Amino acid sequence: MTAANPARDRAPSGLRGCRIVGAGALLLVAVAGLTPAANRLAASYAEPEQLAPSDAIVVLGGDVTPDGWLDTAGSRRLLHGILLYHRGLAPLLVVSGGTPRDGVAEAEARERIAREMGVPPGSTLAVVGANTTREEAVLVGAALRARGVRSILLVSGPFHLVRARAVFARQGLEVRAAPVEDVALEAEMPGSRLVLARALAQEVAGWLYYRLVGAL
Amino acid sequence: MRDMDLIGVVALTCLAAYLWGTRRAGLSAAGLRAATTATLETIGLCVLFLAANLALALLAILVARAWTDRFLSVYTPDYITFAGVSLLQGLFCRWWLERD
């Protein structure tokens, strides 16, 4: 009989746990990628559209490159906000975003684009300095209250709006959701469904974090 | 590619590999059970490494936010790269256990 190898003897119990984790992960990926489960969960979680005339349209931030280009989600949100403005749903378009990085503030970059797309200077408001959704709610809320704004159309992704709508409502604003898809909600391919599931998981985690820190 | 197409293609390549393994390479069908177990263990290790990597990255971001003036978004980490690196870590760890 050979001498026992301690490392070898210890390995099976730890690996048994890994086996369960691995099987669970595979099952989760299979369900998320090969069944419509992600689509159904996404449809039930997403904030529904509540378009109605309001005092202002608030377009939440995304990300901006150092030379002033918006990321895809941020561009979609801004375009949606500008279209809502041109449809006459509110007389004021509010854009917000992070603190300046290499001289370009996201809110200012967005405001510039909005003006170039036909929104008059007096109808835009750039709120600079908010890095998180909660900070956006606080800073935009204060700026809008000072202008006597009571109701807003809030533009963001349909999952993000669940959290964002709640934090803006805490600022005493009447909030109506104007979701714009930053990920396909009707995903038909396994890869798209996995992207959808990941986006949903990310936003649910964000919502849980906000609950945990008392922001909701 | 639809779900059934994907499953069909994967099933075909699995069948081809099984036939090649048992008829040409001299592998035993009984060895499949051990291979399945090892695969699940490796995936489990990868998932654990991924969870640890992400938790550490998020913790570092929260610490940086609290202790410095610099704002770091939780979207900053490259999650795809983390997944790839975690895969390598899991494979490396599994082979290490196998050979030790």
Q: Residue A12's pLDDT is what?
A: 60
Flag whether residue A26 sits within 8 Å of chain B, measured between CB atoms. Answer: yes
CA separation for the pair B90, A60 (Å, rounded) = 38
At A96, phi and psi to the nearest 5?
-135, 175
Q: Per mean pLDDT, which of A2-11, A98-107, B82-91 is the most reliable?
A: B82-91
Higher pLDDT, B2 or B43: B43
pLDDT digits (tens, 9 = 90+) for B16-70: 999 999 898 889 888 888 899 999 999 999 999 999 999 999 899 888 888 887 7
pLDDT in tens, A170-188: 999 999 999 998 888 888 8
Please give the single-letter amino acid code of residue A76. Answer: R
Pick the more confident residue, A168 or A121: A168
Chain A residues with beta carbon closer than 8 angstroms to that of B37: 19
Element containing residue A88 per DSSP (H, E): none
Q: Which of the listed ranges A108-112, A163-167, A210-214 does the model predict with the highest average pLDDT?
A: A163-167
Q: Which pLDDT band, with edges at 50, 70 and 90, does A153 fall under?
A: very high
Q: Specify the pTM.
A: 0.83
For residue B93, the distance in angstroms to the closest alpha carbon of chain A comes to 11
Alpha-helical regions (H) of chain A: 6-34, 37-45, 72-86, 106-116, 133-146, 160-169, 190-212
Q: What DSSP element (H or E) covers A58? A: strand A56-59
Shortest distance between the Cα of B43 and any Cα of chain A, in A, equals: 5
What HEC string does A96-127 produce? EECCCECCECHHHHHHHHHHHCCCCHHHEEEE
Residue A104: pLDDT band with limits 50, 70, 90 = confident
Residue of chain A minimizing CA distance to B1 = A189
Residue A63: pLDDT band (50, 70, 90) is: confident
User: pLDDT category, A101, cuts 50, 70, 90?
Assistant: low
Closest CA to A197 of A19, A61, A43: A43
Residue contact B48–A7, C-beta within 8 A = no
Q: Any chain A CB within 8 A of the CB of B71?
A: yes
Do B6 and A190 lie within an 8 Å CB cutoff?
yes
pLDDT number for residue A82? 96
Closest residue of A to B90, CA-based?
A18
Q: Is the pLDDT of residue A100 over 70?
A: no
Which of A48-52, A166-170, B63-67 comes out lowest in average pLDDT?
A: B63-67
| Pick from A179, A172, A176, A187: nearest CA to A137 | A172
CB contact under 8 Å between B71 and A131, yes or no, is yes
Confidence of residue A216 (pLDDT cuts 50, 70, 90): confident
Are B45 and A22 within 8 A, CB to CB? Answer: yes
Residue A70's DSSP bridge partners are: A64
Q: Do B48 and A8 touch (CB under 8 A)?
A: no
Question: What b-and-e string marks burial along A95-128, b requiring 16 or more CB atoms within 10 Å of the CB?
Answer: bbbbeeeeebbbbbbbbebbeeeebeeebbbbbb
Find which of A10, A13, A18, A203 to mutate to test the B interface (most B CBs within 10 Å of its CB). A18
Phi, psi of A114 (to 5 degrees): -60, -40
Beta bridge partner(s), residue A64: A70
Question: ipTM beyond 0.90?
Answer: no
* Chain B interface, best mutation among A19, A101, A188, by max B CB count within 10 A: A19
